Amino acid sequence: MKVLIIEDDEVIGKLVEQVLKRRGFETDHVNNGVEGEKKAIENSYDCIVLDLGLPDKDGLEICRNIRAEKVQTPLLILSAFDGVEIKVSGLDLGADDYLTKPFDNQELIARVEALIRRNNISQNKEVLKCGELELNLIERSFKIGGEAIDLTNNEFDLLTYFLRNQNRTISIDELSENVWDFGFDTKTNYVNVYLSYIRKKMKPFTNKQYIVTVRKKGFKMVNE
Q: Which of 4, 15, 93, 7 is nearest to 53 (CA)?
A: 7
In 36-165, where do the E strands start and end?
47-50, 75-79, 97-100, 127-130, 133-136, 141-144, 147-149
Residue 42: helix, strand or coil by DSSP? helix
Which fold is adopted by the domain 127-221? Arc Repressor Mutant, subunit A (1.10.10)
Distance CA 153, CA 183 (A): 17
Q: How far apart are CA 96 and CA 92, in angstroms?
A: 9
Instruction: Label the pairing between strands 75-79 and 47-50.
Output: parallel
**124 and 105 Cβ atoms separated by less than 8 Å:** no
Buried b or exposed e, range 181-220, using 16+ CB within 10 angstroms: eeeeeeeeebbeebbeebeebbeeeeeeebbeeeeeebbb
Q: Where in the chain is the domain with CATH 3.40.50.2300?
A: 2-123
At residue 7, does pLDDT exceed 90?
A: yes
CATH 1.10.10.10 residue ranges in the chain? Answer: 127-221
- Specify whether the CB–CB gap between 218 and 172 falls below 8 A: yes
Q: Kindly report, residue by residue over 187-210, the tens digit of the pLDDT.
A: 457 788 889 999 999 999 999 999
Task: Grade residue 185 by pLDDT with cuts at 50, 70 and 90.
Answer: very low
Question: Is the pLDDT score of 61 beyond 70?
Answer: yes
Domain 2-123 maps to which CATH number in 3.40.50.2300, 3.30.470.20, 1.10.10.10, 3.40.1410.10?
3.40.50.2300
Which pTM was predicted?
A: 0.61
